[in-house]
Each structure stands twice: as C-alpha cells, then as structure tokens.
Amino acid sequence: MPGTVIVGAQWGDEGKGKIVDLLARDSDLVCRYNGGPNAGHTIVVDGETYKTRHMPSGILWGKECVIGAGCVVDPGVFIEELEEFESRGISTELVRLSGNAHVIMPWHLAIDGAGERRLGDLQIGTTRRGIGPTYADKAYRLGIRLQDLFEPKILRQKIEVALAEKNLWLERVYGEAPIELEELASRYEGYAQRLRPYFADTSLIVDRAIVDGKRVLMEGAHGTLLDIDHGTYPFVTSSSTLAGGACPGLGIGPTRIDQVIGVAKAYVTRVGAGPFPTEIEGPDQDRVRELGGEFGTVTGRERRCGWLDLVALRYAVRLNGITSIALTKLDVLSAFAELPVCTRYELRDGTTTDEFPAHQSDFHAARPVYEVLDGWGDGSLGGDDLPPAARRYVEFVEHELGVEVSWVGTGAERERVLVR
Ligand code: GDP
Ligand code: IMO
Ligand code: MG
C-alpha cells in the first residue's frame, strides 16, 4: 500500500503527529500537503517532546520529508524550526520544499490579527499566523510563492505591488503602521539564501516514489471539520484539510492514494470559536482538559472539550473515504465511570438523525443524543490488551462507523499505542 493519507477526523489536534511518527519508521517519504504554522504536531520520544509546525512528522526518523504546494510557509518560523531540529541533533538535509507553496508575509500576520480584532465577538479565533490572508491572496493571485524568493528582481516587484494595496488596508482600514519595502525585501532575500538548498520539484519526487513502490505517507494538518469547503464554515481554516486535498496539495493524482487513516481522539476537542454539539457542560470539561493536557500547541489556548461525537465522525469517514481509524487518548477517559457517546443529533423540528446536517443552522441547533457506555475503572491501559470495557468502547465506535479501529492511543509517548 504505497500511498497512505493520514487525516485529522475532528477539529484538529487529534494526535496526528504521534500516529505519523509511528508509521514513518516503515515509510520512505513523509509529506505535508496543506496548512502552515497554524499546525502544531507533538511527538514524545524518550521523555523528549518535539513540536512540528511546518515540518512533516517523519523528520525524527530521518526520512525524506516534503512540504507540498498546498502549504503556506512562514520563512522565519520555518528557519527557526530547521535550527531547532538541527540543534537537537536531527538532520534536516532530506527536507524538500515546493516552490509553489505560498509565502506568509508580514502583512498577512498584521491583517489576520487586525481582522480578528475588528470582528470582536464574531471572531473566528484564528491562530493569528496569517493563514487566511495568505490563502486569500493565493486565490486572488496576489500571492508570493517560495520560488519568487530566489529571484530578487521578481521578489522586489511582487512585494512592491502587494504593498501598494496592503498598506492602504493596514493604514486606512485597520489603523496599523504601514510596512516598509526596503527592509522587507532584504530580509526575504536573506531567507532565500537559507532556503535554497531545500527547494525541489516535490510533485515529481512524490509521484516517482509512489510509482517506484516506495511507501509514502501524506500527513494532513488540522482536521476534517476545519476544511474550507466541508467544515463548519466560517469557523474553519483556509485550506483543504481532507484526504483528497493531498492530491492538489502535493501534485499527484487520486489514483496514487491507496488508503486513508483517520485520526480521532476518543473524545473531541476544538480550539477557537464555532458550534460544538458535544461540548461538555460543568466540571467534567475541566477534568478532561487537565487529564488530556488540552492546551493549544501553537497558541497555548485552552481547548474546548467534548464527548465523542459519532455523527461528526461518520461525516469524516464519508468526506475522507477513511479506511481505518487511529483512536487516540483513550487513556484520558480512564478517569470516568460513565462515558457518554453521541450517536445521533436531535434537530430543531424534534426529529433525530445520524448524518451530519447539511444546513449550518441545523448543525448550530443540533442537540446530542447520547448512549452512555461503562468506564473501565482503575485506568490501567498499559498492558498488551484493553480491559473489557475499553474494548467495548472501541468496538462500539467500529460498529457505529463501519470502519476498523486499527490503533488505540494509550499515552503520549511514541510506544504508547496498541496495534489491533
Ligand atoms: P496533532 O496536531 O493532531 O498532531 O495533535 P497535537 O500534537 O496538537 O495534540 C495531541 C496531544 O496529545 C499531544 O500533546 C500529544 O503528545 C498527545 N497524545 C497523542 N496521542 C496520545 C495518547 O494516546 N494519549 C495521550 N495521553 N496523549 C496523546
Ligand atoms: P493541527 O494541525 C486545532 C483552528 C483555529 C481556528 C481556525 C482558523 O495542530 O491539528 P487559522 O489560524 O487556521 O486561520 O484558524 O482553525 N485551527 C486549528 N485547531 N488544530 C490545528 O492544527 C488548527 N489549525 C487551525 O484554532 O479556530
Ligand atoms: Mg495540533
């Protein structure tokens, strides 16, 4: 099965980094196909914690790592990331950057922050890393791509054209200071020197690898419900987070994908604003947050916590064509005697459904209908087998979704996973 996509099946932070790291050992190439430094993927090895922002989670195994055209790159953050890995003895020599990936520029950061401030109570709660404005400029064809950095004349001209418009917005609409051309152009020319060795034809690399029968992992960032087209718009990110996004995001065709692994927590979290039917009311929300360490990797914000939502997960199975599931953080639920699991939504008209509502207002008003499963008591998920009640929880998920749960996460460390 050479082409495997690993995709977040909820609202992000499902533990994708850990699962990608686990599977990367036996892979040849690991690729990121969407998003930028709004992602934060955590991998824990031998008591050391590594956090990736742009970098594919295969980096720790020294695998060839691709950052595809569908990504957006903040060169300053990316260079910091390179330096961080190198200083910890991890080679970045096999990292490959697509020249078609768009560059996050300082005005994107300024506009992301100012736009959110202006929205006030209506804000999305973005990571303020300039993601939305960068993808907007890409679609508007005003973007600067990584390959532009390597041509100083083109770079300067593109910055000039962009600044003519962006400074108007910054000054007149958002009341912010304008950005100065010279300092910016020379800073980005400096970045170009550092990035040049990583620049490669990544579409060709990925396609060749698959054709040659190598094992390629494609690592989605964020999650299904944050997808720009099918997520809980407008409370979404600005890229295609779904498994299918791996094709345009890397420059390969759909026939190159053999399997899709959906990563889901055994409960649900969400950072930022937006509807969340199974969000827990009362002290159990804080308990899940504390036990699960549910604070944002990128922003440190508290993650909102909820019980497992199988209606939303069923939607994720559909949108991604998920062929198997990695269910992470089951250990966090060990503290609870009873575990509500949402199997249906009750809609405004009193009817119930097990399918994700197609209309936003139905979703906003949806009330979860729970089945309550038994907890497994003392919390010992350390062994080779799951205790009976934990196995029943996992089998319940499989039965409801019609998809196998092939991995169960029982702790943050690399080896804390049961392969079923
Ligand atoms: P990602 O963005 O999907 O890669 O997920 P994050 O890294 O942002 O958040 C997941 C968090 O859960 C990280 O702190 C992981 O170290 C941790 N984690 C992953 N799997 C497990 C697990 O099975 N159990 C526990 N307790 N923690 C886990
Ligand atoms: P990983 O890859 C969780 C959320 C933000 C916000 C919305 C839009 O670590 O799972 P953006 O900055 O992208 O414009 O913010 O999307 N968001 C994430 N939430 N995990 C992520 O990434 C996220 N990336 C974006 O919190 O609600
Ligand atoms: Mg994360």
The per-residue pLDDT for range 37-71, each reduced to its tens digit, is 999 999 999 999 999 999 999 999 999 999 999 99
Average pLDDT, the chain: 96
Q: What is the pTM of this model?
A: 0.97
Taking residue 198's Cβ as centre, other Cβ atoms within 10 Å add up to: 18
How does pLDDT run across 214-254, given as a tens digit for each residue? Answer: 999 999 999 999 999 999 999 999 999 999 999 999 999 99
Q: Residue 132's pLDDT band (boundaries 50, 70, 90)?
A: very high
Ligand nearest, relative to CA of residue 227: 2
**Which amino acid is present at 297?**
T
| Virtual torsion, Cα 162, 56, 96, 213, nearest 10 deg | -130
Residue 80 in contact with residue 91, Cβ under 8 Å?
Answer: no
* 271 Cβ below 6 A of ligand 2: yes
Residues β-bridged to residue 259: 4
DSSP states along 245-263: GHHHHHT--GGG--EEEEE
The rounded Å distance from CA 231 to ligand 2 centre is 12
Residue 24 in contact with residue 41, Cβ under 8 Å?
Answer: no
* 278 Cβ below 6 A of ligand 2: no
Structural tokens at position 60: 């720790």
Please choose from 226, 276, 303 the residue to mutate so as to test ligand 2's pocket, defined by most ligand atoms within 8 A of CB: 226
Given this model, what pLDDT does residue 251 score? Answer: 98
Give me the mean pLDDT over the 364-377 stretch: 96
Structural tokens at position 140: 């508007």
Q: Residue 297's pLDDT band (boundaries 50, 70, 90)?
A: confident
The number of angstroms, rounded, from the C-alpha of 157 to the middle of its chain's C-alpha atoms is 33
Residue 162 in this model has a pLDDT that exceeds 70? yes
C-alpha pair distances (Å), 346 with each of 139, 268, 355, 363: 38, 19, 11, 10
Quick one: 112 exposed, middle or buried, by C-beta within 10 A (0-12, 13-18, 19+)? Answer: buried
Atom of ligand 1 nearest to the CA of 293: 14
Quick one: 236 exposed, middle or buried, by C-beta within 10 A (0-12, 13-18, 19+)? Answer: buried
Strands (E), 39-194: 41-45, 48-52, 64-67, 72-73, 95-98, 102-103
* 40 Cβ below 6 A of ligand 1: yes
Catalytic residue flag (residue 41): yes
Give me the mean pLDDT over the 77-94 stretch: 97
Atom of ligand 1 nearest to the CA of 222: 2
Catalytic residue flag (residue 385): no
Q: Residue 149's pLDDT band (boundaries 50, 70, 90)?
A: very high
Atom of ligand 1 nearest to the CA of 49: 16
Given this model, what pLDDT does residue 1 score? Answer: 61
Residue 160 in this model has a pLDDT that exceeds 70? yes
Q: Rounded to an integer, what distance in angstroms lies between the CA atom of residue 364 and that of residue 357?
A: 9
Residue 407 in contact with residue 326, Cβ under 8 Å?
Answer: yes
Please choose from 21, 42, 217 the residue to mutate so as to test ligand 1's pocket, defined by most ligand atoms within 8 A of CB: 42
The residue whose CA is least distant from atom 17 of ligand 1 is 412
Ligand nearest, relative to CA of residue 233: 2
How does pLDDT run across 191-224, given as a tens digit for each residue? Answer: 999 999 999 999 999 999 999 999 999 999 999 9
3-state helix, strand, coil in the chain (%, to 5): 40, 20, 40
Ligand nearest, relative to CA of residue 412: 1
Given this model, what pLDDT does residue 227 score? Answer: 98
The rounded Å distance from CA 35 to ligand 1 centre is 18
Residue 344 in contact with residue 353, Cβ under 8 Å?
Answer: yes
Q: H or E segment at 7? A: strand 3-8
Atom of ligand 1 nearest to the CA of 294: 11
Give me the mean pLDDT over the 339-346 stretch: 98
β-pair type (41-45, 259-265): unpaired
